[in-house]
Amino acid sequence: MRKSRQLTLTALFGALHALLYLVSFGTWRNWAIYIESMEGIILGPKIGFLAALLGSVIPRIIRPDDTWMFAIIAEPVSVLLAGFLARTKWKPVLAAYAIMLSAYFLHPFGRMLPLWTILDVLLALFLVYPTAKVSRYLFGHDVKRLSVALLLVSFVCVATDSLVRVFLLIPGGLYGLFFSSYEVLYGVFVGAAVSSYVEDFAVVLVSFFVGVPLIVAASRMGIFEDNKKE
């Protein structure tokens, strides 16, 4: 029964993840970003990672885009880390942030690009530990505390998505595939940072109005009993 439920949830969230990408194709942002934290919280790190990976890879086979290599890594990893935080595991998340941010600042471009462009990522870094500590309220019945925990996990999750993309772009060297010079990279990076801050706000807002009732419903259905220890 447990394995059957996990398989069903993996397929369900993977399909939803893929659908959100497909219906948002051509818009300024991929709508799958709005369920990444839910995947991590409800499914846990392992199953959530698998669901996000399937939901990221399959639709890009159907409808590829030029930045596919960013998404198929950033989306599952952000779900994985959200799943760890939801299970009060902060050390793997902190380690991932330390590695990616260190690599970014060690790269010449990382030291040249404006610091304000990654302030949300730096804020998420400092929120990793407190987020893990309050995440136990996600599986309780206090809606106010649940809401706070969900907003924190959602913010760190969306910031993680951004961080992984930045990591791949700068220290990962993918900028060489898309930009002819540092000046071109600078202009796009700064513009994307502004969009990223708008996205942070939108994700947190959606998490509050959609995520809270979804988690409450999932808790009442007993879905967390299979996954909250992973």
Domain layout of the chain by residue ranges:
2-227
Predicted pLDDT of residue 66: 83
Predicted pLDDT of residue 218: 77
Q: Does residue 223 surpass a pLDDT of 80?
A: no
| Residue of 119, 102, 117 lying closest to 186 (CA atoms) | 117
Which residues touch 123 (CB under 8 Å, ≥6 apart)? Answer: 155, 159
Predicted pLDDT of residue 8: 86
Predicted pLDDT of residue 227: 53
Predicted pLDDT of residue 35: 93
d(CA 16, CA 30): 13
Q: How confident is the model over 148-167, as a mean pLDDT?
A: 96
Q: What is the pLDDT of residues 164-217, one digit of tens each?
A: 999 999 999 999 999 999 999 999 999 999 999 999 999 999 998 998 888 888
d(CA 124, CA 117): 13
Q: Are 55 and 11 in contact (CB under 8 A)?
A: no
Which residues touch 146 (CB under 8 Å, ≥6 apart)? Answer: 137, 138, 140, 212, 215, 216
Reported as a pLDDT band with limits 50, 70 and 90, residue 27 is low
Within 10 Å of residue 188's Cβ, how many Cβ atoms? 13
